[in-house]
């Protein structure tokens, strides 16, 4: 039995998934840009500009994410 006040691992995973993959007001799943973890000095200025912000997943990928990872979204 876990002591009171200790976070539940399953609940933490759900929160982590919701933060990583968020929905917008049009019920589309957004995700952070990929390819920005390291080596940004090597990237072109145009690529750095275009990789800012978030993007919308493809519809079929978004449907799978909503079905399996974000059941309440």
Q: Is the pLDDT of residue 40 over 80?
A: yes
The 3-state DSSP class for residue 4 equals coil
- Burial-class residue 5 by CB neighbours within 10 Å (0-12, 13-18, 19+): exposed
Please give the helix or strand (H or E) that residue 49 lies within, else none.
helix 45-50
Rounded CA separation 21/40 (Å): 23
For the sheet containing 22-23, what is the strand order?
22-23, 29-32, 54-56
Over residues 42-49, the mean pLDDT reads: 94
Q: pLDDT value at position 39?
A: 92
pLDDT at 1 exceeding the cut of 70: no
């Amino acid at each position: 039995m876990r002591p009171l006040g200790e976070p539940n691992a399953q609940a933490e995973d759900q929160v982590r998934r919701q933060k990583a993959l968020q929905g917008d007001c049009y019920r589309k799943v957004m995700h952070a840009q990929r390819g920005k973890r390291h080596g940004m000095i090597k990237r072109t200025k145009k690529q750095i500009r275009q990789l800012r912000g978030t993007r919308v997943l493809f519809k079929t990928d978004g449907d799978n994410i909503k079905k399996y990872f974000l059941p309440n979204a």
